[in-house]
Chain A
Amino acid sequence: MGLFSSRKTHVVDTDILVIGGGFGGCGAAYESRYWGRKLKVTLVEKANIERSGAVAHGLSAINCYMGMRWDENQPEDFVRYARGDLMGLVREDLIYDIARHVDGTVHLFEEWGLPIMKNPETGRYLREGKWQVMIHGESYKPIIAEAAQKSASEVHNRIMVTHLLMDATHPNRVAGAVGFNVRDGCFYVFRAKAVIVAAGGASHIFKPRSVGEGMGRTWYAPWSSASAYGLVLRAGAQMIQMENRIVLARFKDGYGPVGAWFLLLKALATNAYGERFEASMLDDMKSLVGKYAETTPLPTCLRNHAVLQELKAGRGPIYMQTQNAIDTREKEEIGWEDFLDMTVGQAVVWASQNIDPKEKPSELITSEPYVMGSHATCSGAWASGPADCAPADYQWGHNRMTTVEGLFGAGDTIGGSAHKFSSGSFTEGRIAGKAAVRYVMALVGNAPQVDDTQIRMLQEEIFKPLANHAIGKHEIVAGSVAPSYISPLHGLQRLEKIMDEYVGGISTQYMTSEPMLKRGLELLTMLREDLDHIGAEGLHQLQRTWELKHRVWTSEAVLRHTLYRQETRWPGYYYRGDFPKLDDAEWHAFTASRYDTKTGEWQMSKLPVHHIIS
């Protein structure tokens, strides 16, 4: 196809559009179909739904399961746990809502064929920790995808969604989305009555520790390109807690999971001299965060903080003492399966460096930061809560609807609701799916209208990077250096460097401050302008270009929220050098932002944190 020939446009009309076929999107498709038997449910995915999203690789545990049937935990207990881990700032209504439904989701997964390990003595699911159950999860994603494929009216694979469409007749109402097919370059217009954004959070906005080929082995998937935020914030949705990035203490370089080693196999982390170090730092932690240092279990960020202090003192490397934990073949298999199910790369690290975990310990390190809404962190869109338990000011529409009418979210998209993981993200997708059905059914005769001019402008914008390259390459003989365009990888590496050096990445030991953030914003603003000059050599690079744009838009939100919150709430995730302590008097609140699509301005504000569980 010639670059300037007219591209084919496909228009897809649907009642409900689900963007992203990971766990949130699969849950949304299943539940939308269950309640909306006659509605058209369309799922769109930039890869192949069978192996897409954060769980493409597989997983070795389900990290959110109450076990209410055995009276193991109640939803209230889970809210207290997530609140403690996030230093007090969570949407308790949203977390409670996921916790009360999540067991039903996990039981459904087991019925579908997901092998869940059993405790031979009790017959119950084998617990890894209080909230986690062990699974044989290599095929977790294909199993869940099978259910979603049988639920959606249509699944469109390999469509990169770039923008949401807004209603021409009604301000602040969503009307669908646009994107392109990464295989044939066709332009896609989805006109929808309701849209559920279930796209991924953000890897690769901060410079990763690995620098060459290994930059792909980030902890979160490299295809988690911040579309969860890039899409909704550009539609004018209010965002919260975007500063609440997460840093993970994991096996060095491979980023293999540590949960099973700590919780099930009871391996210990020590410094280079075999000493445990967390307990001795409690006084230091108290001086920074006060009563929050007394939370049990110790919050994730504070555990990172302890590792960082130990490394700064020169007592590293930090080691997981695996050799004391796997004394039987059964335990050895659990340890290896933990990696082979979800992080094969860690097994490769061990094989290549001659590390047998039965014989010697393995290094742990804190990762580069990530921005997401489903792990021990809760960035994302401000969403309306469940009618029967959300405080009045947390409700303005259907459950999981953002501040844009008809725009719902699930998984990484929804903010304030940490510790969803796979089962909770699927559950949140189900909640959003049902709510979207209710919304669509109430819309009778009032469907959104799509303005053709809006679509044509977006089409031009979407394909422009191809033209930038096709024209610009004639200025040079050969190679990758051109005066009028940069490649998407060039842009990504500039983004990662800015975020790393000014917004609290690894090279400053996660430290930032107002002057650093303001300088970072100047550079980020120039990068945002340069996004108009990305040159894409083909459709694969066009996908990378749009992933980069979503990452840059998201990064600006991360930076502005970090600047707005004048305290250090989560030492170990990041530090504000100019406000080194937690400040509950001023900042026991959510940070909120709204990007004005017309003026390009950001409005920052605080939103209240209500504690509805004692």
Chain B
Amino acid sequence: MTAVPDIEFRAVTKRYGAVTAVSGIDLAIPPSAFVALLGPSGCGKTTCLRMIGGFEQPSEGQVLIRGRDMAGTPPYRRPVNMVFQQYALFPHLDVEENISYGLRQARPRLSSRDISSRAGEALAMVQLAGYGRRKIHELSGGQQQRVALARALVNKPAVLLLDEPLAALDKKLRTDMQIELQNLQREIGITFVLVTHDQEEALSMSDFVCVMNGGRVVQLGQPSEIYDEPADLFVADFVGKTNLLSGKVAGLSGDLADVALADGTVISARKRGPLSRGEAVSVSLRPESLSLSAPGNGSLKGIVRNRIFLGSTAEYAIEVQGIGSLLAKADHVIGQGNLFKPGEPVAIGFAAGAPLAFPGPKNNGTNQREDQHAEILS
């Protein structure tokens, strides 16, 4: 017998007039997991979260929470709580009143001693003990974020929903909160569902990533699966940085395809999806799977156009004749002055199995990476 999923979508479709925001999603979110719904804006991830919270009703299909169909159940009767984007804290209440708001709605009523002791615990949990009497506008963004978390968690929900909770914080604070959220989730042991458009955030925080695009779930898996074995071209391009090279299938053998690149070089790539000979494909090569060496060996030759030294690593933009610009990332070992300089010719190699061949030409909505290369090149 398998455990009942905390959240389950069964053939859920949501339409707004003529626009379909979510189309036919089937999804089971396992209990006690940290799950990220990841996708570009307009992919339907927020709509999914709002359907769990009860703020939107599915046009078709069912949303189940712990096995119970939630059709017709209003938000205030659902065993979930949400951390809203920009927090939506009540400006007319102080910190403690905000946190105990949910407790005061409980029926049968909780004793006021219960309420204040639980609110106190929640404040301590988010390291805001002693801030109970502060006004919301007196708090910093990070503190408001913690109050929003405490306000949701104090109700002991079955599932915590987080709608882009870190978007308004600066980078340093965001990293701290990412770690804190992970710790909290492990401590409390309930399911967290996080909506984010930031793939780094999704990869770093969650146990499972659910990549969405165009109202559909494209891939559900552990972060490393999503990164290493992207289901399609969209995921390969959206999650992490990658180089996409156009080519044609020159030969097929088992899991592998020989792909002729634009400059005539033939490389061997792992097949992702059904391919036939002569078909246009895109080959994905992660920057860190490229290795640079002095000219002479390697499968591709290029010229370093630009270098960004990041301390532990260095990123290179390399111009390859006939193919375009490639992004390469190399570890930097202290004491080995092995940095290539702009203008230097290099040979590019990669491990067998690193290139992935996807059916279809690139550039269906995948211009983002090109822009990044352009940024480095400029």
The reply to whether chain A is a binding partner of chain B is no
Q: Hey, which bits of chain A sit against chain B, CB under 8 A?
A: none
Q: Hey, which bits of chain B sit against chain A, CB under 8 A?
A: none
